[in-house]
């Protein structure tokens, strides 16, 4: 029987006592976290979660394990918040290996003075995102830092997934002839966060693209078990991912500018600031290199899903200078697209 939280948090804001290890911390953990995430593994309140290895082995040949930290500013933004970002970001880091995500951890660093209602909103969003992705938050940790030593809330999530037998997705496998595919409009998240900060005062509606991608990857694998490389284009955007592919596999990549899906609103933000949407962060977009003879089938499979309905072939892997990524412009010219240098947008995820 599921154990329900027995303690109630009465404080309106987070205090240093909520990180002390005593009664106040127990009230916080049971009322705000355990009562919402609510599952057998977490409710036991042990220092670790425990899994049946036989069950995991029956699902696949390998475990995938990942971790990521989230420090986005602002904490809440159009279409999501730091909590949905933490769940989907970690799910997607597992998904692009071909893994089926199963279990997540959640560690939070809270700043003294944080509004408890804001924390509850974030935690509720995490539970909703976890349910939608089909994953369970099974263990966690909470720390509190003095006011002025943090920025409301930082989250670390780690995840475990199971990679089905026969799946071997890796950047090293990109090879000349492969087609480069994205699953939709690029740059949405970066533009949404930038606009949410209010510095630009733009009268446009921009929302994050934050979403889980594991079902999309599984749909791609169904029609092409031999997917070569897949990666989610978060910090550094599509440009950084493709430079990583090119360097790792020692190949060249050519993109076709007119085939890259970018929303008019995002393109406008880029033009105002002199930035490039290919470097903007995404939280629901992946980039894949796919054998040419399977590209059309993969594209059709992607477009049959909600996460990939706007998928497009945007380029190809070619022979040429190893590690070089170029973009063929609409005017027939060509420019080099290097790895992101410096910091285009801070605190983006």
304-307 contacts: CB < 8 A, separation 24 or more? 304/219, 305/215, 305/216, 305/219, 307/183, 307/184, 307/211, 307/212, 307/213, 307/215, 307/216
Asked whether residue 273 falls in the same domain as residue 203, the answer is yes
Residues 6+ apart with CB under 8 A from 221: 98, 164, 167, 227
Burial profile 90-124: b = 16 or more Cβ within 10 angstroms, e = fewer: bbbbbbbbbbbbbbbbbbbbbbbebebebbeebbe
Q: Are residues 274 and 293 in the same domain?
A: yes
Are both 158 and 181 inside the same structural domain?
A: no
List Cβ neighbours of 162 (8 Å cut-off, separation of 6 or more): 56, 59, 60, 62, 63, 64, 99, 100, 102
179, 290 contact by CB (below 8 A)? yes
Say yes or no: 155 and 82 in one domain: yes
Q: Which residue, 118, 143, 163, sits at the end of a domain?
A: 163
- The answer to whether position 185 is within a domain reads yes
Mean per-residue pLDDT, 310-322: 97
Give CA–CA dist 266/345, Å, rounded.
14
pLDDT tops 80 at residue 20: yes
pTM: 0.94
- My answer on whether 178 and 275 are in the same domain is yes
Residue 2's pLDDT is what?
47
Is residue 128 located within the same domain as residue 208? no
Joined together, the tokens standing for residue 97 give 């290996």
Q: Please give the backbone phi and psi of residue 128, each rounded to the nearest 5 degrees, phi first.
A: -65, -45
Q: For residue 201, tell me if it sits in a domain.
A: yes
The verdict on 314 and 239 lying in the same domain is: yes
Query: pLDDT tens digit string along 225-280?
Result: 999 999 999 999 999 999 999 999 999 999 999 999 999 999 999 988 888 999 99
Are 27 and 135 part of one and the same domain?
Answer: yes
CATH code: domain of residue 225: 3.90.650.10
- Residue that is last in its domain, among 147, 163, 179: 163
The CATH number for 45's domain is 3.30.1330.10
Whether residue 107 is predicted with pLDDT greater than 90 in this model: the reply is yes
CA torsion through residues 315, 319, 324, 327, sign: negative
Query: How many domains in the chain?
Result: 2
- 146, 163, 180: which is the final residue of a domain? 163
Domain identity same for 176 and 285: yes
What pLDDT sits at residue 342? Answer: 67
Q: Are 236 and 316 in contact (CB under 8 A)?
A: no
Q: Is the pLDDT of residue 345 over 80?
A: no
Residue 131 pLDDT: 98
Query: Do 184 and 146 have their domain in common?
Result: no
Q: How far apart are the C-alpha atoms of 127 and 129, rounded to whole Å? A: 5
Give the domain extent around 105.
Answer: 16-163
């Amino acid at each position: 029987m599921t154990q329900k939280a027995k303690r109630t948090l009465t404080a309106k804001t987070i205090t240093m006592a909520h990180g002390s290890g005593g009664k106040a911390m127990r009230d916080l953990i049971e009322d705000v976290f355990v009562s919402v995430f609510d599952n057998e593994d977490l409710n036991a309140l042990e220092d670790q979660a425990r899994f049946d290895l036989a069950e995991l082995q029956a699902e696949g040949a390998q475990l995938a394990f990942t971790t990521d930290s989230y420090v986005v500013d602002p904490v809440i933004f159009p279409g999501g918040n730091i909590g949905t970002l933490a769940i989907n970001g970690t799910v997607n880091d597992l998904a692009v290996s071909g893994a089926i995500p199963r279990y997540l951890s959640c560690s939070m660093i809270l700043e003294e003075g944080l509004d408890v209602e804001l924390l509850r909103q974030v935690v509720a969003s995490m539970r909703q995102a976890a349910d939608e992705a089909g994953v369970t938050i099974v263990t966690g940790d909470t720390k509190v830092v003095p006011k002025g030593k943090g920025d409301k809330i930082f989250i670390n999530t780690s995840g475990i997934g199971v990679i089905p037998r026969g799946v071997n997705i890796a950047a090293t496998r990109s090879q000349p002839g492969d087609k480069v595919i994205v699953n939709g409009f690029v740059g949405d998240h970066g533009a949404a966060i930038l606009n949410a900060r209010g510095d630009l005062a733009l009268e446009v509606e921009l929302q994050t693209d934050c979403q889980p991608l594991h079902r999309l990857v599984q749909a791609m694998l169904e029609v092409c078990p031999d997917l070569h490389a897949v990666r989610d284009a978060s910090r550094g955007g599509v440009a950084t991912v493709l430079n990583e592919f090119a360097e790792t596999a020692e190949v060249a990549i050519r993109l076709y500018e007119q085939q890259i899906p970018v929303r008019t609103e995002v393109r406008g933000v880029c033009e105002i600031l002199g930035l490039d949407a290919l470097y903007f962060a995404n939280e629901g977009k992946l980039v894949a290199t796919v054998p040419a003879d399977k590209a059309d089938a993969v594209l059709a499979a992607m477009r049959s899903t909600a996460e990939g309905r706007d998928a497009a072939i945007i380029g190809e892997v070619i022979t040429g200078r190893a590690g070089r990524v170029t973009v063929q412009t609409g005017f027939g010219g060509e420019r080099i697209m290097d790895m992101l240098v410096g910091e285009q947008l801070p605190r983006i995820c």
